[in-house]
A and B are shown apart, each in its own frame.
Chain A
Amino acid sequence: MEIEELRYIRLATDSLDQDTAFACDILGLQLADKTDEDSYLRSDARACSLCYSAADKVDAIALTVGKNEDLADVKTQLLSFGIDAEPIDAAGCTVRKIKAGLVCAAPNGVKIEFVWRPLTSGWRYHGSRDAGITELQSVQLACTDIASNERFWTEILGGVVSDWVGDTAYIRFDGFHHRVALYPSKNDGILGVDFAAEGINNIMQNFYFLNSRQVPVVQGPGCQTASGKMFVTAKGPRGILYSYSTGMAEGAAVTDRIARQFANEPLSHCSWGSETVQPEFLGRE
């Protein structure tokens, strides 16, 4: 089975307006569409890359497939591993701005939506402030059972491990170092959402912007040891982490080598030695 891309993140919320304000005023995303239940936020050409939903109870990650038939293949593949997948009904497809879809649960409880023909906007992305965001880049997942989550993303969904830090696994689906990062954790669910930014100027400007707005910076400015991406990570509503990053390794430097094992220590998460108290980035389990 072929996963084409990490498409969007849907986050359940009890405070839609507040969260939407955070995404626009702090993160700098563009509010593209808003209903009573959903806020659709853009970070790039997609009609939506982050959606806050007051209707959803469980967070979801969408993965794009290339053809309608692929959805059936995904269903078969999942079933062969004993995982049930349900089609997304017409109303659900409308809400998600997709043509068709299929949903299952990942071992850490997050819903995985396989989507076909997700909507792209014909309009250029224009963020609410100049945060330099270029795209939704990756998602970080917290896992109480790291082994079964790694198995789900690799053996079952076809991702490849680019590197490990301790048991933290960086999973790729395309030429980029990772689209999904799995962290051993005391919790299950979505740990963070990572947006790519143009360059280091944006990372640093966002760092000082976050400070000026007294948004807690969880880590950074830093440089992720395995992927080489420079980042700054802040804590948003519901404790979900939001990162800006730039310079993630890609291409032959990633795909033409075997996965590397890094030591289970803070310097393996940030080669610049930036401080953090976030347990997932401390290299302790």
Chain B
Amino acid sequence: MIDLKDITYCRLGTKDLESAEWFAVNILGLEVAERRKSALYFKSDSRAHTLCYFEGDPADQATAFELGSYADIDAAAQTLDQLGYKVHRGSAAECSSRMVRDFIRFRDPTGNVIEFVWRPEMSGRRYHGTRDAGITGFSHVGLCTTDPERDEAFWTQVCNARVSDHIGEAPLMRINEIHHTIALFPFTGPGIQHINHQVEGTADIQRSLNLIREKKVNITFGPGRHPTSSAQFLYFSGPDGMTFEYSTGVCEIHDEPAWRDRQFPFEPTGFCQWGSKPNIAAFQD
């Protein structure tokens, strides 16, 4: 069993680094942590970076999870190899470009690029966003899946993810107390379906709604509240069509044995208990 401790970062290729930076800083409210040749690193919490935009193909995306020890990286590589996954061991240069000590990369059954990392860098400097978005940190991703049942089995049987709830066929899975860190949404091919940052409270969601609307950014869902995690949310479009989410008040599951995953309908009421309707392809039939 591969024991995922936390979600670490997303890496997104883009052909327009300048626009990506403008969005990340002025709309999303992240802080530029570091500029390197052809890559920009953004902070959202106490970690050195949680999002990296690099010059490249927008289809080139990766999501990273932290493992507990060097031995776990080795063991994970072996497990995946035995199961027939093609595992790439990160080179020193690749480790440096991810600000980690070691990592392996592979594709999940749908084809999403996943990285398991060891010792991702923390920062001694507090996150201070360019605008007061109230971000408390990078929190979860939605990944596309071409076969939710198969991929759920991968994340829950090969890895330590547990299903907290389903919306239709889509599993919302936790790897710690937080209701979900990985969610899988049926789609035509691989890709990161959305990237979530947590914000402090209701006011941050609502203030951002008005700011984002004023900046003519496409709001795709919300403000709303998920009946699954009880989180209040707002979804909007970023560079290269990426969906970003702010949310607050996601519930935690502390009593593992007592929790029973619930089935919610794959329709607007399963996604929002306030009455907003998603304009996001993977959230619609």
Q: How far is the CA of A222 from the CA of B205 in the complex (A)?
A: 11
Interface mask (B235-278 → A, CB under 8 Å = 1, otherwise 0):
00000000000000000000000000000000000000111100
CB distance from B154 to the nearest CB of A (A): 35
A270 and chain B: residue at smallest CB distance: B210
- Taking residues whose C-beta sits less than 8 angstroms from the other chain, chain A's interface range is 10 to 19
The answer to whether A236 has its CB under 8 Å from any CB of chain B is no
Q: Are B211 and A204 in contact (CB-based, < 8 A)?
A: no
Q: How far is the CA of A204 from the CA of B275 in the complex (A)?
A: 8
Name the interface residues of A167-217: CB closer than 8 Å to any CB of B.
Answer: 200-201, 204-205, 207-209, 212
| CB < 8 Å neighbour of A201 from B209, B210, B214, B274 | B274
Q: Are A208 and B206 in contact (CB-based, < 8 A)?
A: no
Q: Are A230 and B202 in contact (CB-based, < 8 A)?
A: yes
Of A10-18, A109-117, A256-264, A272-280, which binds chain B? A272-280
Q: Quick one: given A221-B223, A230-B202, are A205 and B274 in contact (CB under 8 Å)? A: yes
Q: Quick one: given A201-B225, A204-B225, are A271 and B203 in contact (CB under 8 Å)? A: yes
CB distance from A215 to the nearest CB of B (A): 14
Q: Are B203 and A209 in contact (CB-based, < 8 A)?
A: no
Q: Are A204 and B223 in contact (CB-based, < 8 A)?
A: yes
CB distance from A246 to the nearest CB of B (A): 11
The answer to whether B126 has its CB under 8 Å from any CB of chain A is no
| CB < 8 Å neighbour of B207 from A204, A209, A272 | A272
Q: Are B203 and A223 in contact (CB-based, < 8 A)?
A: yes
The answer to whether B224 has its CB under 8 Å from any CB of chain A is yes
| CB < 8 Å neighbour of B206 from A212, A223, A275 | A223
CB distance from A134 to the nearest CB of B (A): 18
Q: How far is the CA of A209 from the CA of B276 in the complex (A)?
A: 10
B202 and chain A: residue at smallest CB distance: A200
Q: Are A221 and B275 in contact (CB-based, < 8 A)?
A: no
| CB < 8 Å neighbour of B273 from A201, A209, A212, A221 | A201
B224 and chain A: residue at smallest CB distance: A204
Q: Are B274 and A274 in contact (CB-based, < 8 A)?
A: no
Q: Quick one: given A273-B210, A273-B211, A275-B210, are A204 and B274 in contact (CB under 8 Å)? A: yes
Q: Are B210 and A274 in contact (CB-based, < 8 A)?
A: yes
Residues on B with beta carbons closer than 8 Å to the beta carbon of A274: 206, 210
Residues on B with beta carbons closer than 8 Å to the beta carbon of A208: 274-276
Residues on B with beta carbons closer than 8 Å to the beta carbon of A273: 207, 210-211, 214
B276 and chain A: residue at smallest CB distance: A208
Residues on A with beta carbons closer than 8 Å to the beta carbon of B206: 221-223, 272, 274
Name the interface residues of B207-238: CB closer than 8 Å to any CB of A.
Answer: 207, 209-211, 214, 223-225, 232
B206 and chain A: residue at smallest CB distance: A272
Residues on A with beta carbons closer than 8 Å to the beta carbon of B202: 200, 230
Residues on A with beta carbons closer than 8 Å to the beta carbon of B210: 272-275
Residues on B with beta carbons closer than 8 Å to the beta carbon of A222: 206
Q: How far is the CA of A200 from the CA of B273 in the complex (A)?
A: 11
Q: How far is the CA of A275 from the CA of B214 in the complex (A)?
A: 10
Residues on A with beta carbons closer than 8 Å to the beta carbon of B211: 273
Residues on B with beta carbons closer than 8 Å to the beta carbon of A212: 275
Q: How far is the CA of A208 from the CA of B221 in the complex (A)?
A: 12
CB distance from B193 to the nearest CB of A (A): 24
Q: How far is the CA of A209 from the CA of B275 in the complex (A)?
A: 7
Interface mask (B179-216 → A, CB under 8 Å = 1, otherwise 0):
00000000000000000000000110011011100100
B207 and chain A: residue at smallest CB distance: A272
B205 and chain A: residue at smallest CB distance: A272
Q: How far is the CA of A200 from the CA of B209 in the complex (A)?
A: 16
Q: How far is the CA of A207 from the CA of B209 in the complex (A)?
A: 14
CB distance from A48 to the nearest CB of B (A): 29
CB distance from B259 to the nearest CB of A (A): 23
Residues on B with beta carbons closer than 8 Å to the beta carbon of A271: 203, 207
Residues on A with beta carbons closer than 8 Å to the beta carbon of B273: 201, 205
CB distance from B30 to the nearest CB of A (A): 20
A203 and chain B: residue at smallest CB distance: B274
Residues on B with beta carbons closer than 8 Å to the beta carbon of A223: 203, 206
Residues on B with beta carbons closer than 8 Å to the beta carbon of A209: 275
Q: How far is the CA of A272 from the CA of B223 in the complex (A)?
A: 13
Residues on A with beta carbons closer than 8 Å to the beta carbon of B207: 271-273
CB distance from B203 to the nearest CB of A (A): 6
Residue of B202, B206, B207 with highest tally of chain A CB at under 10 A: B206
Q: How far is the CA of A201 from the CA of B276 in the complex (A)?
A: 12
Q: How far is the CA of A222 from the CA of B202 in the complex (A)?
A: 10
Q: How far is the CA of A163 from the CA of B202 in the complex (A)?
A: 23
Interface mask (B83-96 → A, CB under 8 Å = 1, otherwise 0):
00000000000000
Q: Are B225 and A272 in contact (CB-based, < 8 A)?
A: no
- For the complex of A and B, list the 6 residue pairs with the smallest distance between their C-beta atoms, beginning with the closest: A208-B275, A273-B210, A204-B274, A272-B206, A272-B207, A205-B274
Known: A200-B202, A212-B275, A274-B210. 20 other contacts (CB 8 A): A200-B232, A204-B224, A204-B225, A204-B274, A204-B275, A205-B273, A205-B275, A207-B274, A207-B275, A208-B275, A221-B223, A223-B203, A223-B206, A230-B202, A271-B203, A271-B207, A272-B207, A272-B209, A273-B211, A273-B214
Write 9 A-B pairs (CB below 8 A) sorted by A numbering: A200-B232, A205-B274, A207-B275, A208-B276, A223-B206, A230-B202, A271-B203, A273-B207, A273-B211
